[in-house]
Amino acid sequence: MYQLLKQIATVGIKTEAPPAAEEAMRELSQRLREDILGLFAGSLAIRHVDAGSCNGCELEIHMLNNPYYNIEGLGIKLVASPRHADLLLVTGPVSRNMEIALKRTYDAVPDPKLVVAVGDCGCSGGIFGESYASRGRVSNVIPVDVAVPGCPPTPVALMQGILTAISLNGRRDG
Amino acid sequence: MAFDSLPLNLTKLQGAVPVWRAVAAPADLPGLCQAVKNQGGRLVALWGTDERDRGQGYALQLALAKPEGMLWLRADLPAGAPRYPDVSTIFYPAGRMQRAARDLLGIDADAADRRPWLRHTAWPDTEYPLRRDVAAAAVFDQCRDDYAFVSVIGDGVHEIPVGPVHAGTIEPGHFRFSIVGEKVLRLEERLGYTHKGVDKLFQGMPFAAGAALAGRVSGDSSVAYAWAYCMALESIAGVVPPARALWLRALLLERERIANHLGDLGYLGNDGGLAFGLAQFMRLKEDVLRMNAKLFGHRYLMDRIIPGGVACDLERAAMNAIGDECNLLEREVRLLKDIYDDHSGLQDRFLTCGRLTPGTAEKLGVIGLAGRASSQAWDLRAQARPAPYDLLETRMKTHKNGDVAARVNLRFEEIFESLRLARAVIERIAPGEIAAPLPAVPAGGLGLGWAEGWRGESVVALEAGQDGRIRSCHAHDPSWQNWPALAFAVFNNIVPDFPLINKSFNLSYSGCDL
């Protein structure tokens, strides 16, 4: 237990709110926090759906929760059920084998709901495109509010995508 | 020679790993498979190709391995009734591969399990999308899905269906638990949800684009697949990448292993109730990813391995930075290992949980990390040793307990070994070219690539077509072998331990859904 506590104390807080070097990121965090406070009463619940991805985008979504990006600290939580979610984060070209599951997950999210399509595949079908097995981009299957390109998109790009989706919602409601 | 006792005409393929080609009659397959098994060999992959455009029928392809190398067998099947004898009674993992080959190509093993595997609702059972006369863009009406799960009957037995959309941020698949109380009597897996038609996409693709696609068969093993693909292509082209490129490839592969093991150790701590572990290991993983982005230009090292060599070079300063990073990681991970080892609550969750005995692992043909945690001593880096591993003397680690604790400990040990290898690469690498030009590749040329990724072996079998394009290509993930083992490991454990056991295997969905 001593080692564990010592390690926590030694490592300290790694969450980034750095000055010059990562200025863009710091601003993003602040704006994100304000928007979430304003629109979602301080809490945004996200449900992730892998609709056929290669698992690359999932790796970066995992990293959103590491101490550097710490999205839970911003009031964003990845939740276990679409019924608990405000926003769907959808990766992959939509495989035909996942098409029904994706539609049902979308239907299970209560209104008003937001959808962020993640990665080159989610945006355009990417390297997999459309075929006998793939429906291609996410918007071919469910309505998409924001698409975040990248193979895979970085955690910062993902945070920007989420922010953009929330702002869209503000405009739509306003 | 590894396979010279078999009644076959063996042709050795040139290339980085020892591979022999042979043609066998379909009826001889069970005998040959049994002979390979009796000699300590195993089935790596089974798939099919359509050769009707050459005036032939279909070809069943098998890759069989012994520690010394690989046997790539082809059995020609008639176009009219393409059937072959079931080999899943000899090699357990063949079952799902045979079902997948039937779904895609209509070639049929005379096996007891007649259920589809990759085919869900996207195409009917009268269509076979991998056949060359089916257009890649062909679209079929959604069909009815009436997959027959095995049901367990008895007093108090009930089912928990899970997925395809899981509760965590993971890939999609369906798990059907039959349980009594909280004890798991049976786990049946149904996969194939992320089937993207990868084999079909490869057909006709230019060689360079093929490397990018191979790197996206399973995103967490991008380096392993890209290397296996390039190894296959270079074997056909008769090109040996420059020494510096090979050293850099090994460095990339070990960094991929380190990053994935760090992430898994974090999640395993978290699933065992120690959130501290997740925060600490994900911090270290992020540091590695940032170093990847800075030095190699991509956090997950995608598209860094290209046909003929690598796409990125390192300056001396960057080598030094990697050396410092290795030392720092070694220190930090040793400290965290002490904390994990001393944490009685965590060890209580790890020890004896999800046990896969060496005997079961051997029967199931389990390989890679999960295999080594159950005494299955297969590690390409220490056995066939493709360059530059022939100069590195990788120390393979194995455990015999086969529980979550063994898979956790193995990850720690493999991180330390990978750090040692990374340091050795930095010490030994000499200045030079980082890529060799790829000459025209002869149509009909065959090559097989084999790389020991963090999860296990990635294998790519490639046949060159006309004009610098792929005729056919098949990528094989070690998860084909290891998914069935998860169902055995979880037997008699309680449902709440499933996430921990599952994470300790951390198998790929996309890699074997293709």
pLDDT at A32: 59
A62, A99, A152 ranked by CB distance to B169: nearest: A62
pLDDT at residue A37 in the model: 58
Which residues in chain A land under pLDDT 50?
17-28, 169-174
Neighbour order of strands in the sheet with B446-452: B446-452, B457-464, B470-476
CATH architecture assignment, domain B198-432+454-509: Orthogonal Bundle (1.10)
Which residues have C-beta within 8 Å of that of residue A11, sequence separation ≥ 6?
B280, B283
Average pLDDT over residues B131-144: 90
The pLDDT value given to residue A38: 66
Mean pLDDT score of chain B: 95
For residues B339-348, average pLDDT: 95
Yes or no, beta carbons of B280 and A11 under 8 Å apart: yes
The CA-CA-CA angle for residues B224, B229, B233, to 5°, reads 145
For position A162, what pLDDT does the model report? 85
pLDDT value for A13: 84
Higher pLDDT, B143 or B253: B253
Give the pLDDT confidence score for residue B465 in this predicted structure.
Answer: 95
Residue A174: the pLDDT is 32
pLDDT, tens digit (0-9, with 9 covering 90-100), for B42-66: 999 999 999 999 999 999 999 999 9
| Domain A44-169 -> CATH class | alpha beta
B278 pLDDT higher than 70: yes
Q: Average of pLDDT values for B152-180?
A: 93
Average pLDDT over residues B480-493: 96
What is the reported pTM? 0.93
The pLDDT score that the predictor gives to residue A168 is: 56
Parallel/antiparallel/unpaired status of strands B457-464 and B446-452: antiparallel
Closest CA to B485 of B365, B400, B352: B365
Asked if B339 lies within 8 A of A58 by C-beta distance, the reply is no
Average pLDDT over residues B368-395: 95
User: Does residue B285 belong to the interface with chain A, where contact is any CB pair within 8 Å?
Assistant: yes
**pLDDT of A21:** 29
Considering CB atoms only, which of B120, B169, B289 is closest to A61? Answer: B169
Contact B381, B452 (CB under 8 A): yes
DSSP 8-state code for residue B497: G
What are the domain boundaries of chain B?
A: 1-148, 157-190, 198-432+454-509
Across the A:B interface, residue pairs with CB atoms under 8 Å apart total: 166
Cβ-based contacts of B168 with chain A (< 8 Å): 80
Q: Give the residue on A whose Cα is nearest the Cα of B211.
A: A127
Partners of residue A61 in chain B, C-beta under 8 Å: 169
pLDDT confidence of residue A101: 95
Rounded to a whole number, what is the distance in Å from the CA of B263 to chain A's nearest CA? Answer: 9
pLDDT at residue A139 in the model:
93
- CATH architecture of the domain with residue range B1-148: 2-Layer Sandwich (3.30)
Q: Please report the pLDDT score of residue A111 as a whole number.
A: 85
pLDDT of residue B335: 96
- Partner-chain residue, chosen from A14, A62, A132, that has the shortest CB–CB distance to B122: A132
The pLDDT score that the predictor gives to residue B4 is: 87
pLDDT band at residue B144 under the 50/70/90 scheme: confident
Element (H, E) at B301: none
Predicted pLDDT of residue A22: 32
- Section B316-331 average pLDDT: 95
In the stretch 147-186 of chain B, residues with CB closer than 8 A to chain A read: 164-165, 167-172
- Give the chain A residue whose CA is nearest to the CA of B171: A50
Distances (CA, A) of A55 to A147, B18, B27, B216, B372: 17, 31, 39, 9, 24
Whether B446 shows a pLDDT value over 90: the answer reads yes
Choice among A152-166, B29-43, B285-299, B312-326 with the minimum mean pLDDT? A152-166
Residue A39 is predicted with a pLDDT of 65
pLDDT at position B264: 97
A interface mutation test: which of B127, B162, B169, B261 has the most A CBs within 10 A?
B169
Locate all alpha helices (DSSP H) within B215-315, ordered by sequence: 222-237, 243-271, 275-296
Partners of A77 on chain B (C-beta within 8 Å) are: none
Whether residue B495 contacts residue B179, with contact meaning beta carbons closer than 8 Å, is answered with yes
Contact yes or no for B279 and A66 at CB 8 A: yes
Contact A53 B171 (CB under 8 A): yes
Report CB contact under 8 Å: B165, A101. Answer: yes
Cβ distance B266 to B282 under 8 Å? yes
Q: What is the pLDDT of residue A171?
A: 44
